[in-house]
Amino acid sequence: MKPVTRRTALTTLGATGAALALGACAPQNRNPGAALASANAGVRVGAVADFPTVGSFKETELADTPAVIVRLERANPAGISVGDVHLIALSRVCTHLGCLVNAPRDGVLGCACHGSLFSAAGGAATRGPATESLATFKLEARADGIYAVG
């Protein structure tokens, strides 16, 4: 057996560290709501009254994923409408490298890590480097409130 040189050991250690660091930067789960769907009951995220005006929001965690529920001006197929109140649940995990995006401001969620911007109206990436939309959670209106169910 050939002895391991210092150079070989350091090269191997460096390559292993780089692989681990890059793996940590990989895009996050694109379907975080799957865990909610398997829970059947869902998670109560509030009531319609918690969103009094367009742009109002509530930060929460859904399926171990930071999320935000936002009241929209118009209905979105990825959200729900209860009368004239339109809501959407968005992941706060940036689709570029997994940093957390800020809470919505003026209809935009921004990532402080690399400057990506996302529309609060549906999660679409409006400025890169992110190119994919934020993941959404399925919402359901029940008699006792709004639930994230998938």
Q: Please state the domain extents for the chain.
A: 27-148
pTM score of the predicted model: 0.74
Greater model confidence, 68 or 25 = 68
Report pLDDT digits (tens) over 88-114. Answer: 999 999 999 889 999 999 999 999 999
Residue 21, pLDDT > 70, answer no
Q: State percent of the chain over pLDDT 70.
A: 73
| Secondary structure of the chain in HEC code, one letter for each residue | CCCCCHHHHHHHHHHHHHHHHHHHCCCCCCCCCHHHHHCCCCEEEECHHHCCCCCCEEEEEECCEEEEEEEECCCCCCCEEECCEEEEEEECECCCCCCEECCCECCEEEECCCCCEEECCCCCEEECCCCCCCCEECEEEECCEEEECC
Can you name the CATH fold of 27-148? Rieske Iron-sulfur Protein (2.102.10)
What pLDDT is stored for residue 40 in this prediction?
58
